[in-house]
Structure 1
Amino acid sequence: MTMLTPQQYADRLAAAMRRLPTQQVPVQRARGLVLAAPVRAQHRLPGFDNSAMDGYAVRAQDVTAADVVLPVAGCIPAGRTDRLQLEPGTAWQIMTGAPMPDGADSIVQVELTDGGTEQVRFDAAAVPGASVRRAGEDVEAGQVVLQADTRIGARHMGALVGSGATSVEVTPRPRVAVISTGDELQAPGIPLQHGQITDSNAPMLSALVEQAGFEVAFVGHSDDTAEALLAVVQEAAPLADAIITTGGVSAGEFEPLKAAFEGGRAVTFERIAMQPGKPQGFGFVDETTPLFALPGNPVSALVSFVMFVAPALRTMAGRPTSARWGTATAVEGWRTSPGRAQIARVWIEADGPYLNARVSGGPGSHLMGGLAAANGLAWIDAEVDEVRAGDSLRVLSLDGEFD
């Protein structure tokens, strides 16, 4: 069987994905989601002329030089709602954010006065328009506040809520089911017998799903039979937009994924020219729910998620598919697997404005200690059989959302 390159396989998965149907959600629940339609302001920002300073609202023509003294009509705190008038030759004491009285065209900040409350002496001339925030100078009613395909972050919330949005149309987070396979697996906390291991893949993949910005909808386990696996998949499918399985995809005799789906079923299996993570499976359950069949070794499962599953889920969520790989310099050298791209676990650290990377742990796909000591992945092309100190590496952080 001809092996696909990692990029060819990732492109195939991305092409098979479809953006999820949109939903209307409250603005407060929209952080991290992608807008499916532009958002227009319901009203202008600011909504009224207001003061940018604590000081005095005046007509600039009444304060043309220092030492002018004017009577103070009263105080306007922020939140005052009655409409006020500034009479010529007078001043209103005003606080930051308070509405300007009609007739005023300037604010003289309190530091340039004697701070009087009955009358006020000015130490400098007023400047027309100084320290006045004009209605609509930030956003006008009907103006697009955020464009479609914007991923909503905390920095967008002020403009959304401030301009009157209470709900927005978004692409939802994909709901993901995680299913681990293997007779040898036991749930965390269960005492182990000889030959048994703790199921680390399900907790790890669930954490990866959430770290990447998606939702875990189901976590299950299947024994090493096709019947058991199909039953768990059928249980998970109605609850999820995508399913991830681990284990059962290699060439051994007890491979439940292959037994369940080979032979004309929707899931197909490929060999990828990548180490770790050569065996992969992908297809659709119930014709609509994508299933990603990943290897069972923990490092292979993590690398496969970052390389293949996370980009596909981003497509479903309306986010950019491609990851943003950076560049780092290898601090030390190591050998790689000839003929296959190596996705190495590395520790990335800053060196001034640059990044350095050193390999973390051995190449074995079962070595979880080395994985835990890594904070990134390095992509080594298949044509490279040795990394040398000083080489430039493509690297991706494991601390963010893998994009």
Structure 2
Amino acid sequence: MNAEEEKGLKTEEGNFKKKKKMFKDIRIACNMRSTSNVLDIRVTKFARGRSINLALSYRGRQALKAVGLEDQVVAYGIPMRARMIHSLSGKKSAIPYGTKSQYILSISRENLNKDLLTAVEKYSNVKVHFGHKLVKCYPEKGVITVLGQDKVPKDVTCDLIVGCDGAFSTVRTHLMKKPRFDYSQQYIPHGYMELSIPPKNGDYAMEPNYLHIWPRDTFMMIALPNTNKSFTCTLFMPFEEFEKLLTSRDVLDFFQKYFPDSIPLIGKQALVQDFFLLPAQSMISVKCSSFHFKSHCLLMGDAAHAIVPFFGQGMNAGFEDCLVFDELMDKFNNDFTTEGIANKVESLSIFVHALQKAGGIVPPAVEMNDISSQF
């Protein structure tokens, strides 16, 4: 760490300590890999979990910038300046996201998690507990019950509980028992499956600075570039369509009919192998209100407002939550009990709420041709 980085860390650490003036002990329930028993992804040999590439936009970058991580994360991101639409005939058409200087970034979920963990451990007043599962939460008492590697339940007291434990949040489950707490969830009829396009002759097999999309009425496939010259592909399709593809021949015939130009890119053998490696995974949207319980508990990220990945806003919205909450704490002098801040907390990721009201929870009738325009 150079002198400038060390100075920045001390400044950020000082700011964080100020935030804790009203809360001597803050417990944050985190879910970084869609599991309830989080392990250290930096040392775990086999980490299975959702691996859809992440699309980092301006909103997410602003939050990373606030904690001094923007440059580090952007450095290994791949700029995607436009959508590349693949028609059934094989014709490709580019649709820019905006001006030449505007783009989104394809970044690795795994590398981002590693960078965030390494960064947070540099704060002397932060301690990360791996291998622990949150089993109970008592917001009104400021108590959580965790199950460690010894499998012995342990009660931990704290001043503030922050639920960042994903779409299936344990913290939110306990808030749902409170009067006037509204909650709804919806599984869409589509599932997703991950495939891969390997490098070709040591280089990208397609144009790298694009988000490639194959829109096909009720289903579609996308491909995002990786730094190792490969592409991560994701097939989004109704479960009833996945269930029709039972044999290798079924899969190859299906791709020949709808994604013929992708077969030589993926490879027939790899396509069949990856298709049957894991079953198609489900996707859920979550809405709830309010995001907090008095001054004792707060929901952020997917725990508060999970959204389907079509819109590429889940991570960006979660990061923006952190930025908005930090701004609110500054505005109200780090006092979460201040009258009025509770209503302001509901402004966390107001963008996602607007998107959900406009159709972010995708109804079955919406075609993937329409959804693809949102990427």
The TM-score normalised by the length of structure 1 is 0.23
Q: Kindly indicate which of the two structures has a greater share of residues assigned to strand.
A: 1
The TM-score normalised by the length of structure 2 is 0.24
Which structure ranks higher in relative contact order (CA pairs < 8 Å, sequence separation ≥ 6)? 2
Determine which structure has more spread, i.e. the larger CA radius of gyration.
1
